[in-house]
A = this chain, B = another copy of it.
Amino acid sequence: MLRRLAVVGLGLLGGSAAKAARTRGLVREIVAVGRRAERLAPALDDGVVDRATADLVEGVREADFVLLATPVATLEALLSEVWQVAEADAILSDVGSTKSAIVNVAERLTCSRALAFVGGHPMAGSEQGGYAGARPDLFDGATVILTPTERTDPHAVKRVSEFWEALGGRVVTLDPEVHDRVVAAVSHLPHLVAFALVDAAARVDPAAFGFSGRGFADTTRIAASDPQVWRDIFLSNREALSESVAAFRSALEDLERLIAVRDATGLEATLARIRRIRCAL
């Protein structure tokens, strides 16, 4: 059981972590830190957090577990601030969807002060963002990727793993760069492509949307995602994303070429090969 959990950023993920920790009785005290106190009021009202503050120092003080859950673009600066004020034996983790950058920052900070940080990425989401969308069961069965390096304290990895497992997650560990490549391929690239698909249809003929069916609805559902969140993710993971876009472009070109030369046999074989991969998921 944790003595005090500080959640910095009480949005969908931070709010859900607080709710899950409270519901499951994992923590004696939960402190929410947010820039705007009025945004934290609902969590105080419903008893999910015990204290709420806009003061980072006050919020993080005496916490034995600090979870950084602000937008990914703000995490690097936030981690530097938290690093100065956290207790010497505190465990720090985050929920950002890209990991190389934040892990690099943590390793640089370790040179000046030895603190335990473990990068984390709970793969859970919802169309409804913010604390209003937070649910105590958000992590039930969700994959939570931790990205320790050879320099990460194994004890801290164990503590963070136990935290997410207690919240219902299935914890796996990945190298931070492998993490970024993998999520670029199965999450960031599909989001970018979904946005481009909607834009392409609008460019071909705005009337086309009147004839769209379930296939279009499914492939472009995630183009309704939050523009600010995805701006940050695309920018934060731009290198790995660029590699995925290159792989995608090359896959698309292979299909186009088979169509252009009317290679029916080759086209069917390629579609069948890809279909087998998709069906095996």
Residues of A that sit less than 8 Å from B by CB: 123-125, 143, 145, 178, 181-187, 189-205, 207-209, 211-225, 227-228, 230-231, 234-235, 238, 241-245, 247-248, 250-252, 254-256, 259-260, 262, 264, 267-272, 274-275, 277-281
Question: Which 4 A/B pairs are nearest by Cβ-Cβ distance?
Answer: A227-B271, A200-B248, A199-B251, A186-B212
Residue of B185, B194, B208 near A201 (CB, 8 A) is B185
Question: Min CB distance, A183 to chain B, in Å?
Answer: 7
Closest to A121 in B: B211
Q: Which residues of B contact A274 (CB under 8 A)?
A: 195, 198-199, 202, 223
Q: Is the CB of A231 within 8 A of B267?
A: yes
Q: Which residues of B contact A199 (CB under 8 A)?
A: 251, 254, 274, 277
Q: Which residues of B contact A254 (CB under 8 A)?
A: 199
Q: When A186-B209, A190-B215, A196-B252 are in contact, do A235 and B267 touch as well, CB less than 8 Å?
A: yes
Question: Min CB distance, A107 to chain B, in Å?
Answer: 23
Residue of B187, B227, B278 near A198 (CB, 8 A) is B278
Residue of B183, B194, B215, B234 near A222 (CB, 8 A) is B215
Docked complex Cα distance between A247 and B231 (Å): 22
Q: When A244-B204, A248-B196 are in contact, do A268 and B224 touch as well, CB less than 8 Å?
A: no
A-B CB contact pairs (8 Å), 19 listed: A123-B211, A125-B213, A125-B215, A182-B207, A182-B211, A186-B201, A187-B211, A193-B197, A195-B271, A196-B251, A199-B251, A200-B251, A209-B277, A215-B222, A218-B221, A219-B219, A230-B271, A231-B264, A235-B262
Closest to A271 in B: B227
Docked complex Cα distance between A224 and B275 (Å): 5
